[in-house]
Structure 1
């Protein structure tokens, strides 16, 4: 499989488009063509004032805040949709399951305190004393 290397200016243009996402929207709407955008970028440069309108208006910090607020609104709506009786039922089931598991550990001696006692006892299974 051969990999085709792009011209450096094409790579730079791709980076430029990533920084100006509204250009993609304009091309998808049919208002502009990629060839036209590339020619303008090549002739005017990426620092020209005409590109400001295509930049992403929101800084990265604001995007993070929006993502967090979207998450919080989703969580809030999920909590609103929950039935309190169902949640209580699930919590009681989990509690009884944990109690059962703890009982099994106690029955088979798998707790921390008992494991130390049995490990010392298993090292010397017979008690020998010198006369």
Structure 2
């Protein structure tokens, strides 16, 4: 029954052992393990979100649970500012190529639907006139 965990999950477990107040967050229902893992993965271990709140449990928990969307967007924006623009451009370019490939595949399938109709003997331009 000893199942090997992904290395990032093992690191997260070690991080939780160093920050036992996170266990209380899950027990109180203010966060789930999935949410905490995702935040830890995105923000890193050094983020101010992980500050020890064991001394101020009452007030801090309510503030964290009522965190506004604007603050979350601000966090994401700060992370985007710290990214390497060349690496970000590379990722966007790769994503654009992938979307183009999917569009190409879809157009091929759509082209197969219309293939029997386009084989008719009629003119390709509906507005072309014949000379007498």
**What range is the shorter-chain TM-score in?**
0.3 to 0.5
Task: Return the index of the structure with the highest Cα Rg.
Answer: 1
Give the helix-richer structure, 1 or 2. 1
Bigger relative contact order (CA 8 A; separation at least 6): 1
Q: When the two structures are superposed, what TM-score results if normalisation uses the length of structure 1?
A: 0.39
TM-score, reference length from structure 2: 0.39
